[in-house]
Amino acid sequence: MLALSIITPQSAQAEKGYRYWGYFQATAGASNWTAAMTGPTTILKDGDVEGWTFTASSNDIPATEPMASPDFASLCDGTAEVAGKIRVGIVVDFGGAEIAPSGEIPKEVITDCAVVPAKSNGLAVLESVAKVRADKSGLICGIGGYPATECGVEIDMPTATTEPQTMATITDEEAGASDNSKILPVALAIGLAISIFVIIRKRKK
């Protein structure tokens, strides 16, 4: 088998980025996540969904959304309305192993329906399902004990291992067929020349 491949060269220097808890929201009735423009201080209403994901991003690589969709109907299925309170779906995604801090293992995704007092904000909803660790500025550093100590650290962004990309593959049979396709016209030309030569000789006799 003959194979032609291109091997994409990798940069010798890893791209720098930051690892942190990303915050996403979906207002009542929305089907997609939207990156939050503020901290978890927005007053929520019944039917909203809050999303948190441990992620890493850089100038070229955006933060990833929570892996579970903001489906309020599924998250709060069977949770009845309560007077004076609101129901808010919540997803907490602990991210992949490729960005986990050294020695730590990501936890299972939390999907829940928080029932909190009316006019509660995003922080109150998050604290209703997991222990929260924040720094003095209010930045959310850890959720449910993950990560254990760090807070928004700079890292080398993980890069995917790329395999050689095959441009074209020619099997031995195809190679043989290709060779035959070149030999056949030559053989026919030689045969035709011999036939003409024989005919001319016969005419001269």
Residue-wise pLDDT tens digits, 10-42 = 445 679 999 999 999 999 999 999 999 999 999
pLDDT 10s digits, 37-78? 999 999 999 999 999 999 999 999 999 999 999 999 999 999
pLDDT 10s digits, 79-99? 999 999 999 999 999 999 999
Residues 99 and 152 in one domain: yes
Give the CB-side neighbour count of residue 195, counting CA atoms within 13 A.
6
Residues 174 and 152 in one domain: no
Q: Which residues pair with 22 in a beta bridge?
A: 53
pTM of the model: 0.72
Q: What is the tally of structural domains in the chain?
A: 2
Instruction: Rank 12-26, 101-115, 172-186 by mean pLDDT and report only the highest.
Output: 101-115
Residues 180 and 82 in one domain: no
Q: What's the confidence (pLDDT) of residue 13? A: 66
Is the pLDDT reported for residue 163 higher than 70? no
Nearest to 150 by CA among 133, 138, 130, 137: 133
**11 inside domain:** no
Q: Mean of the pLDDT values across residues 118-126? A: 98
**127 inside domain:** yes
**3 inside domain:** no
